Amino acid sequence: MTSQSNLYLLPAGSGAQTSDEGAAPWTDEQGADLVVVANRLPVRHSSSPGDEGWLPSPGGLVSALTSSLQDLNGLWIGWPGAIDHEEPPESYGGIRLKAVNISAEEYEEFYLGFSNATIWPLYHDAIRSPTYHRKWWHTYRNVNMRFAEAIARSVAPGGTVWIHDYQLQLVPQMLRVLRPDVVIGFFFHIPFPPSELFMQLPWRREILTGLLGADLIGFQLHSGASNFSRLARRLTGASGTDSGLTFEGRDIRVGAFPISVDCRLIAEKAADPAIRARAKEIREGLGNPEFLLLGVDRLDYTKGIQQRIKAVSEMLADGTLSAERQVMIQVAVPSRESDAHYEQERHDLERAVGEVNGEYGLVGHPAIHYLHKNLPFDELIALYLAADIMLVTPFRDGMNLVAKEYVMCRSDMTGKLILSEFAGAASELRGAYLVNPHDLDGIKEAILHAMNSGPKETRDRMSRMRRATIRRDVYDWAKGFLSALQQTPHATRLRALEDPSIESTTP
């Protein structure tokens, strides 16, 4: 680590406007060499009795980014996740945090509105009709500007900024204007749609130019990179290929960086005797069924939960499955609950589960065990260990980490994965039973095939999937993106931090 100048002045003539009227220019404390920016901070506030206060958000993504931030004098900028809350701590787990707050109105218009009712459905094959409101768009722009200003105040001269996901697509260009000296990376966790869908967006050109402010734009799959590059060439005057564009005299690299899970941590947990005993207990509690089928998803209409419930229901109806011998568990983690689409999805799902259990369940043997809650990660691992068949059937998904987590738990090469062709994970997990989630008969056939496959087929498929997953874990993903970002010609500061023989040429 190097020592920083503790004052950064906005470059003269940048034309930057601040939305905080009268606020001092960019005069924050010590600037960070690496800034991670995401809609959410890596901590969440808990009010549960006995567990009050700020807790780390779970997940491999947070761990992987946290380790890069710890190594590189880093800072994480994001929204604390609630409107009225006490200020989050200045640092947590060894990394500095900076909150960007949003008002109740902005929560409605920026978060629930433009991010989750315009962009989210549009980028997921328009499974629900996207809603377009000019007011939401204006608020999205304002909130993105607030993020850009917070970053501009916090990053060291020549520092590196890694922006995450669809809520912040305008930030790269806004930040480029405020801080032309910094290196900017952007990563999409969700798919980037083809032009037939993207062209619907009234603000399509603004979104593309917003993203083109970055030096490197990463996607889960090559198809996302190619969709983006084509659209940028068509609508913005950018030139180049699917891996590199030139726009307004700058070079922008574009590529696929498929995300993964913390393979070692999951494997360790899956070998933990206490978690294995819990998996056994779960199966015993269910009456040691012949087959345990499992679904684990955020409760989201893109995840295809109702499709798989329908497939299972039809198999119960035709006698292929019976509630006494085959049991399904569906975990639906609460998500975006104040949104009407999500409320409806929950209502429809719970009615479907109720109908299946009413029709095919027996006393002491419901056909589907349904949990609408966030489980401790260890309990999730116990469920992965207990399940014979994992059902992952999204209509569209950037990657889907649940599929990779399941695979990483099955070191004994048992367990079968039924996986949607439309999950990013399908391009790596070729040993899965791949299904079209719109094809109910196809899902039923895959469940039947998985139930009847012998140990050799199961082992071959699982070992193929494990090899593909182990090849690159979430730490490799973070390092891969950051080292690609270092190839940016003006990224000398980041390179100098890692290799002191390189001289930083930034201001």
Q: Which residues in this chain contact ligand GDG in the complex, by CB under 6 A?
A: 58-59, 189-190, 259, 296, 298, 331, 333, 374-375, 377, 380, 397-402, 405
User: What is the distance between the alpha carbons of residues 266 and 474, in angstroms, rounded to a whole number?
Assistant: 12
User: Which residues in 344-383 are b (16+ Cβ under 10 Å) and which e?
Assistant: ebbeebeebbeebbeebbeeebbbbbbeeeeeebebbbbb
Nearer to ligand GDG, 259 or 367 (CB): 259
Q: What are phi and psi of 286, to 5 degrees?
A: -90, 5
Q: Is 310 exposed, middle or buried (0-12, 13-18, 19+ CB in 10 A)?
A: middle
CB of 217 to ligand GDG, least distance (A): 15
Q: Assess contact for 491 and 485: CB atoms under 8 A.
A: yes
Tell me how far, at minimum, the Cβ of 58 lies from ligand GDG, in Å: 4
Rg of the chain taking only CA atoms, in angstroms: 24
Given a contact cutoff of 8 angstroms between Cβ atoms, the answer to whether 75 and 182 are in contact is: no
- Residue 330 CB, shortest distance to ligand GDG, in Å, is 11
Closest to ligand GDG by CB, 210 vs 258, is 258
Report DSSP letters for 229-266, one per residue.
Answer: HHHHHHHH--EE-SSEEEETTEEEEEEE------HHHH
When the beta carbons of 75 and 190 are compared against ligand GDG, the nearer one is: 190
Q: How many CA atoms lie within 13 A of 277 on its CB side?
A: 3
- State the minimum distance, in angstroms, from the CB of residue 126 to ligand GDG: 16
> Shortest gap between Cβ of 90 and ligand GDG (angstroms)?
26
Least gap, CB of 124 to ligand GDG (angstroms): 8
- Least separation in angstroms between CB 358 and ligand GDG: 26
Q: What is the dihedral of CA 295, 299, 301, 302, to 10 degrees?
A: -60
Q: How far apart are the first and last CA of the chain?
A: 17
| Cβ proximity to ligand GDG, 203 vs 377, nearer residue | 377
CB of 243 to ligand GDG, least distance (A): 21
Q: Shortest distance, CB of residue 131 to ligand GDG, whole angstroms?
A: 19
Nearer to ligand GDG among residue 405 and residue 473 (C-beta): 405
Place of tokens 């328009």: 126
Using alpha carbons, select from 390, 366, 409 the residue that is nearest to residue 450: 390
- Smallest gap from Cβ 182 to ligand GDG, in A, equals 24
Instruction: Tell me how crowded residue 300 is: count the other CB atoms within 10 A of its CB.
Output: 21
Angle (CA) 30-32-33 rounded to 5° is: 135
Query: Cβ closer to ligand GDG: 150 or 399?
Result: 399
Q: Where do the DSSP E strands lie in 136-249?
A: 155-164, 183-187, 216-219, 239-240, 244-247
CA–CA gap between residue 144 and residue 285 (Å, rounded):
49
Contact 365, 326 (CB under 8 A): no
* Cβ nearer to ligand GDG, comparing 223 with 374: 374
Nearer Cβ to ligand GDG, position 177 or 375?
375
Compare residues 404 and 416 and give the one whose CB is closer to ligand GDG. Answer: 404
CA 167, 170, 175, 181 torsion-angle sign: positive
Q: From the CB of 256, what's the least distance to ligand GDG, in Å? A: 13
Distance from C-alpha of 426 to C-alpha of 445, rounded to nearest angstrom: 18
Which strand (E) or helix (H) includes residue 292?
strand 291-298
Q: How far is 166 from 59, CA to CA, in rounded Å? A: 19
Q: Which is nearer to ligand GDG, 215 or 428 (CB)?
A: 428
Comparing CB distances to ligand GDG, the nearer of 59 and 194 is 59
Minimum distance from CB of 109 to ligand GDG (Å)?
22
In 3D space, the residue among 77, 159, 189 whose CA is nearest the CA of residue 485 turns out to be 159
Q: For residues 207 and 401, which CB has a smaller minimum distance to ligand GDG in the complex? A: 401
